């Protein structure tokens, strides 16, 4: 069995276990490459795991186009969770549309409004959630476990692709004809909101294009809480 085939089988088994033992479970998809692997595994194996995305209002057109692509290829409509309009309006009126460039605090507040609060609504009522995070994505994810106790949300969190390499992801996507975000072919290994993501140079850390004006240790959006403490957020998604 090839390494990739072995990883696929392991990840599929994890997803099956989640569907069996942690129902209802949801998958938080950022519509990027890793998340398309999980989307393919969930939908092709008809696993009862709902898929949702956080529509922050600042996503690239290429990312939004993936919603239609998934519908076209799999006949599945990904649920969207949006920020509360009043909170966005208050932030913009008080600080300006792009105040996240001004300080880490302003950036985290924007992420809180546009991602963290909607994530809480999306996860509510579930026993587990799933992400496409991988250990080798960045220094903030080096110790990522396949299963974590997400005390902040009161549920289990699973990272079924934790030990996949970037090469594994692309071998799987290309080998199975899985659709992927067009931005990946333009130097974007990691994709988030449009104003906070840029292309990286060959050899750069895959997350170097996310919040590139901050130092690596602060580069998390608050979606992933470690040991139940928001202050120790060390991983990311979306
Ligand atoms: S990634 Fe940027 S635009 Fe998106 S929620 Fe965070 S700070 Fe706001």
Query: Which residue, judged by its Cα, is nearest atom 6 of ligand 1?
Result: 111
CA of 199 to the centre of ligand 1 (A): 16
Q: Is the dihedral of CA 57, 62, 63, 68 positive or negative?
A: positive
CA of 127 to the centre of ligand 1 (A): 27
Query: Which residue, judged by its Cα, is nearest atom 1 of ligand 1?
Result: 193
Is 234 a pocket residue for ligand 1 (Cβ < 6 Å)? no
Three-state DSSP state, 190:
coil
- Phi and psi for 157 in degrees, rounded to 5? -125, 135
Q: For position 219, what pLDDT does the model report? A: 66
In ligand 1, the atom with minimum distance to the C-alpha of 110 is: 8
Q: How far is CA 83 from the centre of its chain?
A: 16
Q: For position 238, what pLDDT does the model report? A: 44
Query: Which residue, judged by its Cα, is nearest atom 4 of ligand 1?
Result: 193
Report how far apart, in Å, the C-alpha atoms of 182 and of each of 62, 87, 104, 190, 191 are.
6, 31, 29, 12, 11
**Cα 81 from Cα 122, distance rounded (Å):** 7
Query: Which residue, judged by its Cα, is nearest atom 2 of ligand 1?
Result: 196
CA of 61 to the centre of ligand 1 (A): 15
Q: For position 229, what pLDDT does the model report? A: 42
Report, in this order, helix, strand and coil percent for the chain, each rounded to 5: 45, 10, 40
User: Under 8 Å CB-to-CB from 177, ≥6 apart: which residues?
Assistant: none
Q: For position 215, what pLDDT does the model report? A: 74
Q: For position 225, what pLDDT does the model report? A: 55
**Cα 210 from Cα 193, distance rounded (Å):** 9
**Cα 170 from Cα 180, distance rounded (Å):** 10
Question: Which domains, ranges and CATH numbers included, belong to the chain?
Answer: 3-84+117-235 (3.40.50.620)
Q: 22-38 burial by CB neighbour count: b if 16+ within 10 A, else e?
A: beebbbbbbbbbbbbbb
Is 181 a pocket residue for ligand 1 (Cβ < 6 Å)? no
pTM of the shown model: 0.89
**Cα 141 from Cα 226, distance rounded (Å):** 11
**Cα 65 from Cα 152, distance rounded (Å):** 32
Is 58 a pocket residue for ligand 1 (Cβ < 6 Å)? yes
pLDDT by residue, tens only, the chain of 238 residues = 689 999 999 999 999 999 999 999 999 999 999 999 999 999 999 999 999 999 999 999 999 999 999 999 999 999 999 999 999 999 999 999 999 999 999 999 999 999 999 999 999 999 999 999 999 876 667 788 999 999 999 999 999 999 999 999 999 999 999 999 999 999 998 899 999 999 988 888 777 888 888 877 666 666 775 544 443 333 333 4
Residues identified as active-site? 221
């Amino acid at each position: 069995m090839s390494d990739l085939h072995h990883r696929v089988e392991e990840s599929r088994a994890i997803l099956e276990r989640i569907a069996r033992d942690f129902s209802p479970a949801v998958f938080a998809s950022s519509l990027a490459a890793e998340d398309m692997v999980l989307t393919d595994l969930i939908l092709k194996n008809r696993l009862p795991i709902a898929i949702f995305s956080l529509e922050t209002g600042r996503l690239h057109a290429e990312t939004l186009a993936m919603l239609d692509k998934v519908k076209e290829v799999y006949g599945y409509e990904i649920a969207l969770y949006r920020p509360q309009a009043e909170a966005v309006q208050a932030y913009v009126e008080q600080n300006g549309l792009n105040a996240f460039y001004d300080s880490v605090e302003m950036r985290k507040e924007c992420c809180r409004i546009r991602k963290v609060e909607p994530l809480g609504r999306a996860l509510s009522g579930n026993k587990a959630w799933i992400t496409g995070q991988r250990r080798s994505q960045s220094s903030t994810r080096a110790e990522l476990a396949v299963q974590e106790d997400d005390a902040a949300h009161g549920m289990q969190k699973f990272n079924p692709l934790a030990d996949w390499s970037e090469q594994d992801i692309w071998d799987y996507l290309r080998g199975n004809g899985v659709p992927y975000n067009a931005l990946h072919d333009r130097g974007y290994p990691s994709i988030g909101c449009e104003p906070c993501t840029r292309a990286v140079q060959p050899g750069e850390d895959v997350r170097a294009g996310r919040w590139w004006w901050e130092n690596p240790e602060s580069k998390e959006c608050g979606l992933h809480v470690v040991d139940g403490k928001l202050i120790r957020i060390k991983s990311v998604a979306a």
